[in-house]
Each structure stands twice: as C-alpha cells, then as structure tokens.
Amino acid sequence: MSAEYATFGLAPAMRAGGVLANGDYQVHRDFVDFIVDGRPLLFQLSDLDAVSPLAADIPPAIFTGHVRSLLLEAEAPLAGGRYVIYGCPECEGLECGAVTAAIEPAGDGTDDVVWRDFAWQTDEHADLELNGYHGIGPFRFRGAEYRAALGRLLADAAEPAARRRVLLIGARVAVLAKLAAALRTIGIGAEIVHDASGVPAEELRTYGAVAFGRAVGETQRTAVRRQFERAGVDIAYVDGLAPIIPLLVAQIEAALDRSPETRRRLTGLVAADGAAGLEVTSTCRVRLTAYRLDRLYRTHTRDVFDDVLGPGRHRIPLDPRATKGESFLVARTTGSVLVAPMAR
C-alpha cells in the first residue's frame, strides 16, 4: 500500500444552527469529527456543510453501530466497501449527497487501516472519475491508534450528551419566549427564569450557556454566576446585544462552541469604520449579515457579503446604509458563527 502514515484522532465539533436572514432555520448539530494529522478532515473539503455519522443526537444504538462499522466489525453500508464520512446535517440522507470513502485493512500483515478513494456520492455507487476527491488521501492509520480512538467512543457512549440547553434570563418575556422558540426549533433546549436561585444544582449542570437580557443588572448577573460556581459548572455567559432574535441565536451558538481555535474555520471578527475584519483558518464560504435597530427600535436585516475566502485575514467593506445607527454583524461559515457590534 502506497499510502503514507497519518495520525488519527477524534474531537467534538458542531454545525452551528441559526435563524438566517431569509427566515429559514439551520439546525444545530453536535458531532465527533475526524482529526487527521492534527487537523479536522472536514477542513480539507472547503465549503462543505456536513457532519460525520457520529452525531450526538442520534440514538445510542445507532451511534454504536456507526463506530463498530468504522472499526470494520460490520459490513460496509455501501457497495465497494464504502462508508459515509460526512453527510447532510439536516436529514443525513444519501440522496442529499455525502462524502464517502473505502475503508479497509492494509492487508500487508499489519493491523493498519486505510481510508482511500474519497468521493461525493448521491446514490449507491460512487463515480470516482467524475466525483472523486483526488487530492485527499489515501490515509494509512496505525491500527492501535485508530482502534483506541474509536474504542473510547464506545466506552463513552453511555455518558450524557453535550449540554445543548440554555438558560434565558431577562425582563422582556415576549422576547425571551420568541428566543426560546427559535432555539428549540434548531435543536437547542431553552428555559426562561427570572433568576437561578431556586434551580437545583443537578439541573444547572445540564446547561451549556446562560443568556442575559440587556435589562438584567449586574447584581443579578453576579448572583447567577455564583449559583453556577457553587454547582461546579463551567458555563458560557452571553450578554444579549439587542432584542433581535437571529442575532441572539447567533450569540448563543458562538458561546456553545467550546472547541479550540485551531479547530475552527472562523476565529476572528471585528466590525469598525465601515468594514468587517475577518480571520479564517481554512478555505470556506463566509456569509456576513448586518442587523440594525432604527430610532423606533425596528429591526433591519441585510446580507452584506457571501463568498469563498482563503486562509488569513480579510477586510470586507460594508454598505454604510446597512450599518448606520445601532448595528451588529454576524459572520457565519461551516461550523462557526461569530458576532460583533459595529464600533463607532
């Protein structure tokens, strides 16, 4: 086998959900990504919006079945010894398209495993000539390393899923109710309380973030933080920028992303002087949406940028009409979302 050795690992990842500018919803998905030679394999697929089969919200028996399949303890689900590596985050159906690869023993007397012939596939058979990812792989993984990483997933299968619940605290009940409904629609649990003083510690440990409305005072915020500290919870805190539901959803999604920056595609966003400053780690499509409140507190939304950017820092000029007054910017790419107020 001519494939060179590559390191194999696994790491938590997410596909950020959200309320898009056109009113559509994008579902939040937590999953386990494949780390090849220290970087997410998904990053080699540029602008692909997809998740691995190892998603946190599928039934444990199905999750375990996917892991055992990757361990070659079951027959390949597709013809030609092929396995789904990444699929549609909304429905996971093959008809929507999926990245597949042949996975097999090295066959040279070692216990190594090889991933080869990556392709985009929409039915039972892959056309490598037409739809093959010719620049990716083959990868040869040392058997012990490969099986140890996947074996840990089996050992952790009984552990609770990622904390995808958010506690909402604020004075404007109508806004909180709309926010909770939007979060639940994209797959994030949300509860509304006035404060956290009466919430049992075991329930506090089920939350991943707390979002404060603008009217919540510092005394109340401090009390909530102390309550979570006493419960021993490492939690993200979100200070709501404005009563704009898609903006608040984006803030909460950004807070729920606890992955290291080296495993994110979008690592920096600043909005000032009529421009957006972006920092991107790998080639991907970036969408920028501006939200602003006028003098009557009406919300205005405009998509201001949508294009593929390469790694590095970028400065994107913005239409002054989209960012006048009190305005905010949301940057979104595959798996990452960032929010920034427009500085004046």
Is 2 a domain residue? no
- The neighbour count for residue 281, using CB atoms within 10 Å, is 20
For every one of its 344 residues, what pLDDT tens digit does the chain have, with 9 covering 90 and above?
456 899 999 998 999 899 888 888 999 998 999 999 999 999 888 778 899 999 988 888 889 999 999 999 988 999 999 999 999 988 877 888 999 999 999 988 899 999 999 999 998 888 888 899 988 989 999 999 999 999 998 877 655 455 578 999 998 889 999 999 999 999 899 999 877 777 788 888 889 999 999 999 999 999 999 999 988 888 999 999 999 999 999 999 999 998 888 889 999 999 998 899 999 998 889 999 999 998 888 999 999 999 999 999 999 999 998 888 899 999 999 888 999 999 86
Considering the domain architecture, whether residues 188 and 317 belong to the same structural domain is answered as: no
- Distance CA(275)–CA(164), nearest Å, equals 33
Residue type, 196: A
End residue of a domain, out of 231, 258, 285? 258
- The three-class DSSP label of residue 130 is helix
Considering the domain architecture, whether residues 135 and 146 belong to the same structural domain is answered as: yes
Considering the domain architecture, whether residues 172 and 65 belong to the same structural domain is answered as: no
Considering the domain architecture, whether residues 115 and 209 belong to the same structural domain is answered as: no
* Res 162: pLDDT: 53
Whole-structure pTM value: 0.85
Considering the domain architecture, whether residues 143 and 62 belong to the same structural domain is answered as: yes
176 Cβ neighbours under 8 A, 6+ residues apart: 168, 170, 192, 213
- The neighbour count for residue 117, using CB atoms within 10 Å, is 21
User: What is the number of domains present in the chain?
Assistant: 3
Considering the domain architecture, whether residues 33 and 53 belong to the same structural domain is answered as: yes
- Distance CA(214)–CA(203), nearest Å, equals 25
170 Cβ neighbours under 8 A, 6+ residues apart: 176, 211, 212, 213, 214, 215, 216, 240
Considering the domain architecture, whether residues 100 and 194 belong to the same structural domain is answered as: no
143 Cβ neighbours under 8 A, 6+ residues apart: 110, 111, 112, 113
Residues 22-39: b if buried by 16+ CB within 10 A, e if exposed: eeebbbbbbbbbbbbeeb
End residue of a domain, out of 141, 157, 173? 157
Considering the domain architecture, whether residues 153 and 16 belong to the same structural domain is answered as: yes
Domain range for 70: 8-157
Is 31 a domain residue? yes
Instruction: Name the H helices within 186-322.
Output: 201-204, 218-230, 245-256
Q: How far is residue 102 from each of residues 75, 83, 126, 144, 160, measured CA to CA in Å?
A: 12, 6, 10, 19, 31
CA 216 to centroid of chain Cα atoms? 29
Angle formed by the axes of helices 173-185 and 245-256, nearest 10°: 60
Residues in the chain: 344
Is 269 a domain residue? yes
Considering the domain architecture, whether residues 34 and 77 belong to the same structural domain is answered as: yes
* Res 155: pLDDT: 77
Considering the domain architecture, whether residues 62 and 72 belong to the same structural domain is answered as: yes
Considering the domain architecture, whether residues 249 and 274 belong to the same structural domain is answered as: no
Residue the block writes with tokens 């089969």: 53
* Res 102: pLDDT: 96
- Distance CA(153)–CA(145), nearest Å, equals 13
Q: Is the Cα dihedral 115, 117, 122, 126 positive or negative?
A: negative
Is 167 a domain residue? yes
**CA-based nearest residue to 67, from 150, 2, 173:** 150
Considering the domain architecture, whether residues 199 and 316 belong to the same structural domain is answered as: no
Is 302 a domain residue? yes
Is 56 a domain residue? yes
Is 52 a domain residue? yes
Is 250 a domain residue? yes
* Res 318: pLDDT: 93
DSSP state of 42: G
End residue of a domain, out of 129, 157, 185? 157
CB 57 within 8 A of CB 28: no
